[in-house]
Amino acid sequence: MAKYELDTLRHSTAHLMAQAVMELFPSEVVKLGIGPTIEQGFYYDIDMETRLTEEHLKQIEEKMKEIIKRGLPVVRHEVSRDEALKLFAERGQSLKVELIRDIPEGETISYYTQGDSFFDLCTGPHVEKTSELTHYFKLLHTAGAYWRGDQTRPMLQRIYAACFSSKEELKEYLTMIEEAKKRDHRKLGKELELFIFDPVAPASPFFMPKGALVYNGLVDYMRRIYKIYDYQEVITPQVLDVDLWHTSGHYEKYKENMYFTQIDEREFALKPMNCPCHMLMFSHHRYSYRDLPLRFADFGRLHRYEKSGVVAGLTRVRTFCQDDAHIFIQFDGIQEEIKTLMQMFFISYEHFGFKKIKIGLSTRPEMRVGSDETWDKAEAALKAALDASGKDYFVNEGDGAFYGPKIDIQVADALGRYFQLGTIQLDFQLPDRFDLKFTNDKGEMERPVVIHRALLGSLERFIGVYLEHVGGAFPFWLAPEQAVIIPVKNELHLEAAQVLAKDLKARGFRVRVDDRNESMGLKTRQAQTGKIPFMFVLGDKEIETQSVAVRKYGEQKSEVLTQADLIATLSALDADKIPAALRG
């Protein structure tokens, strides 16, 4: 058994890196912020004049290895608040002074020394001497980070590092990082002409024709699923009077993420979510228990203000669309509905090629609406539903929505990275705030429960995650270009290619003819670079036998098919628009 936990090794290596930085830059005051461990290593936020480069990171690594060889003792010291403030103030460590002042009265204050010259505020634990640290770390890159996440505070330099307990684990992780760079959705989106970003609309993507085909393909997929699971699609406004957001509670709990405007001397807001609109729609009609569950689905655009420091490609944007739905249901129908939802979610995720799935139950946050009694009831209902589903899950304390607990579903991509996609949220609050009622089987008025659910989540974010998962090679049914037809050389070949293209387009397939005056080699390479599922070649032999030379993306050899067999093959692949488990 290892002497130290991996988290201890990582935390100690973060201190090691901080010491190396301070030794390499003795002529300036290097102010240390925080250096927590993260999933694959650690980071440290540092305030210093020198802008760190890749060459600096290499120098820091070498200095870290040198400090390891020194075998410096690592010693814990407990001090009073006044002693700690004096110690760190004398060294110009103003960020640490701020952290010390925020430590609650009565809590133990400790710091660690490494040798005679370095010390850092920390609760520990740490290794006993620097020679016990491994060399299995790698400084990855730097990034800007506002002190304590506050954009009104100074921008620090954050150094990210990978750290593992074995050479093999580090090598595997670094290989994964290199593969992730190749799969970066921002890089692939540009190369495949799917979307662009422009400063005129910060953090708001423009989808090009090919990207729009993928986007609409996902919407069409959800609409096909909705028919199977009995959803009704609705359309709602994007700009609504703030009175609606006061009623829902979003104005008080979420307004810092909302956009506002004045119209006719009234204050309005762009909607950040669809749920208040659906509550309003339910309230305008009289429903009975026979109408429930009532499932409203909505693909309306949403707008949320995200700080510039957290937006990232498609995975964190300011305008997006969700495959959003709200289910109005009786309390005793919750478990059966969630059972159906879990089936719908798992079938869909596996259809998209996500094999590893994790489920989390997120409970009440500090900032919330509603009584503890109602939250107890809601959390118990979700837990019972998850227990009945037979699926393994973990509890994520305090991460629920402000109006109710939720089930969050994470999927692992091809590189083993987990991303949250689906969410199922149980809401007793909004039906109460909007005074929603239906007539139960006794003829009495009863309050419904609302289930908020999204399967893919934000379509923008899903495209970013999925693009990296498949490395840009979409499945046939979703690919913006499903095939390119290449005539070998003469007019006869071109004419045959155009006839085949017309036939395939009439059958709903997305194909084009590459009739450019370029070599076969160039056209073939570009078809592969474009990650087009199929390349069809037509020459003398194919025209004579009414066949097609078919080459799949990623394969070297071609297969000759009759045109009838080709159409049958493509039709079978296109049937994947609906998962096999849900076909009639």
171 catalytically annotated: no
User: What was the pLDDT predicted at 148?
Assistant: 87
Q: pLDDT, tens digit, for every residue of 166-187?
A: 999 999 999 999 998 999 999 9
The whole model's pTM is what?
0.84
322 catalytically annotated: yes
Lowest mean pLDDT among 147-156, 463-472, 510-519: 147-156
Q: Model confidence at 2, in pLDDT bands (50, 70, 90)?
A: low
Longest distance between any two alpha carbons in the chain, whole Å? 93
Catalytic residue among 322, 425, 429, 563: 322
Mean pLDDT value across residues 143-165: 90
Is residue 119 over pLDDT 60? yes
Can the peptide bond before residue 293 be classed as cis, meaning omega within 30 degrees of 0?
Answer: yes
Catalytic residue among 126, 406, 461, 493: 406
User: What was the pLDDT predicted at 50?
Assistant: 92
d(CA 536, CA 503): 14
45 catalytically annotated: no
Could you tell me the strand order of the sheet in which 547-552 lies?
511-513, 483-487, 534-538, 547-552, 559-562
Residues 558, 549 contacting (CB under 8 angstroms): yes
Tokens in use for 292? 């429930």
Residues 455, 421 contacting (CB under 8 angstroms): yes
d(CA 362, CA 275): 19
316 catalytically annotated: no
pLDDT, the chain, mean:
92
Q: pLDDT, tens digit, for every residue of 43-68?
A: 999 999 999 999 999 999 999 999 99
Catalytic residue among 275, 278, 295, 413: 275
Catalytic residue among 326, 364, 493, 531: 326
Mean pLDDT value across residues 425-441: 93
What is the Cα Rg of the chain in Å? Answer: 29
Mean pLDDT value across residues 518-537: 92
Mean pLDDT value across residues 436-451: 96
Question: What percent of the chain has a predicted confidence (pLDDT) above 90?
Answer: 76
278 catalytically annotated: no
Mean pLDDT value across residues 385-412: 86
Q: Model confidence at 1, in pLDDT bands (50, 70, 90)?
A: very low
Q: Model confidence at 296, in pLDDT bands (50, 70, 90)?
A: very high
Mean pLDDT value across residues 13-26: 94
Is residue 195 over pLDDT 70? yes
Angle in degrees, CA 277, 278, 284, rounded to 5: 95
Mean pLDDT value across residues 210-228: 97
Say which DSSP state 582 is in: G
Q: pLDDT, tens digit, for every residue of 130-142?
A: 999 988 999 999 9
Mean pLDDT value across residues 76-83: 91
Q: How many CA atoms lie within 13 A of 64 on its CB side?
A: 24
Catalytic residue among 11, 15, 304, 351: 304
**Composition of the chain by helix, strand, coil, percent to 5:** 40, 25, 35
pLDDT greater at residue 556 or residue 61: 61
275 catalytically annotated: yes
Q: Could you tell me the CA-to-CA distances from 328 to 384, 388, 513 in Å, in that order?
A: 19, 21, 49
Catalytic residue among 452, 453, 531, 551: 452
Catalytic residue among 298, 323, 324, 514: 324
Q: Which of 450, 198, 479, 428 minimizes the C-alpha distance to 324?
A: 450
583 catalytically annotated: no
Tokens in use for 490? 């003469």
Q: Is 378 exposed, middle or buried (0-12, 13-18, 19+ CB in 10 A)?
A: buried
